[in-house]
Amino acid sequence: MTGSLRIGFIPLVDAAALIVAVDKGFTAAEGLDVTLVREVSWSNVRDKLNIGLFDAAHLLAPVAIASSLGIGHVKVPIVAPFNLGVNGNAITVTPALHADLMAHLEGDSTDPMATALALARVVEKRRREGAEPLTFGMTFPFSTHNYQLRFWMAAGGVDPDEDVRLVVLPPPYMVDSLANGLVDAFCVGAPWNSIAVDLGIGHILHFVSDVLVRAAEKVLALRQSWAEKNPDSLAALVRACGRAADFIEQNHAEAAQILAQPDRIGVSPEVLQRTLDGRLKVSPSGTFRESSRYLLVGREGAARPEAIQAAWLYAQMVRWGQIPLSPEALGTAIGVFRPDIYDAAMGTAPPATGAEIGAFAGPPFAADDVIGHLKAFRISRWKS
């Protein structure tokens, strides 16, 4: 068994299971000597995993799929035997855009269809006035944030490629960019939404769990070749992360202390705990909003990488023109998520019912009917 591992991560709350697994000694208890390496960009994490400078990584779920499909970059088959987080992102807007949206809102502000329709009205009004298109920040072309923003606004009739600008921004630059008007809104993971609200420069418009009930966010990613050569180390790592995820769900306060360390996430434990508790300050005036679905680290089977999640992400890549639709590619995408490795390592039986996506718009998603999903949406780059 290979005992010594280098694992890359980006300082975000959904790296929690990995960080806690190492810092609480769960990996050591499994006989693993893990060095965590904090990284500054997803491109770096991907490249260092691909070429073997990392044995494993905290990775955007769609990047693991894109790498395996060879889109956007070099093709390197990746496996994801552990889901580090479900949900956890939020959409934050400037106070000015928030006021504009609320002025055009019909219905409940936590209803994503109501806000998406309000956004369509604001976009239309700005067009009439000859104003610049609104700019939305997201973290990576192959990111849940990109797909979640697109899914939400397109449901209200806003074409993400025609009506607004979507730009990639590294998470640490999100808040500054919102403050100095480079973007009007962003979709990012914790803690950045809370930091914008605390600074008084942003309103959290939506938790992503408003848009999708269950969205696989970050995965524990490994090269397939490494996973095949090191099955025992892999199982040990999955178990350590599983134990850490359980620990986090039961000990938010202690987990927040661990994550707050300067070489880990490096922000105040209080802000981190808000995310874990799912109780977030959503407006600078101090309004709080609570959701039991804000971020799932291990509860409700969140750690099991479900095939349906990989299929949904692949469907978004097709919908937005990043890859053509093909049964082979769908199979490859689904094959990245490895619930079998998870079940074997954890010693648990597969759940009786499959997980759902639970999107607020369109028909229920089924992994075996990607075409049905694509046909359900008018705004799309996919040509049937």
Partner 1 sequence: MSAEQSPKIVIVDESPIRAAILEEGLREAGFTGVVHVSEMQGLLARIYALDPDVIVIDLENPSRDVLEQMFQVSRAVRRPIAMFVDQSDAASIQASVEAGVSAYIVDGLKKERIKPILDLCISRFNAFSKLQDELERAKSALEDRKVIDRAKGILMKMKGFTEEEAYVLLRSTAMREKKKIGEIAQSILTASELLK
Among 136, 140, 337, 365, binds partner 1 (CB under 8 A): 140
Question: What 8-state DSSP symbol labels residue 162?
Answer: T
Residue 224 interacting with partner 1 (CB under 8 A): no
212 forms beta bridges with 359
Stretch that binds partner 1, among 13-21, 137-145, 186-194, 240-248 (CB under 8 A): 137-145
Stretch that binds partner 1, among 72-80, 111-119, 217-225, 330-338 (CB under 8 A): 72-80
Residue 167 interacting with partner 1 (CB under 8 A): yes
User: How many whole angstroms separate alpha carbon 16 and alpha carbon 312?
Assistant: 24
Which residues contact residue 300 at a Cβ distance below 8 angstroms, ignoring those fewer than 6 apart?
A: 86
Residue 169 interacting with partner 1 (CB under 8 A): yes
User: How many whole angstroms separate alpha carbon 97 and alpha carbon 360?
Assistant: 22
Q: Which two tokens stand for residue 258?
A: 């661990």
Amino acid at 9: F
Q: How far is the CB of 94 from partner 1 (least distance, A)?
A: 17
Looking at the Cβ atoms of 105 and 182, the one nearer to partner 1 is 182
Please report, as residue ranges, which positions from 23 to 42 form the binding site for partner 1 (by CB under 8 A): 40-42
Residue 192 interacting with partner 1 (CB under 8 A): no
CA angle 341, 229, 25 (to 5 degrees): 65
Q: Is the peptide bond before 191 cis (omega within 30 degrees of 0)?
A: yes
Count residues binding partner 1 (CB under 8 A): 32
CA angle 167, 168, 174 (to 5 degrees): 100
Looking at the Cβ atoms of 70 and 95, the one nearer to partner 1 is 70
Q: Which two tokens stand for residue 15?
A: 């790296």
Residue 148 interacting with partner 1 (CB under 8 A): no
Looking at the Cβ atoms of 141 and 157, the one nearer to partner 1 is 141
Residue 43 interacting with partner 1 (CB under 8 A): yes
Residue 177 interacting with partner 1 (CB under 8 A): yes
User: How many whole angstroms separate alpha carbon 99 and alpha carbon 94?
Assistant: 9
* Residues within the interface to partner 1 (CB under 8 A): 40-44, 47-48, 50-51, 53, 70, 72-75, 139-141, 161, 167-173, 177, 180, 182, 321-322, 381
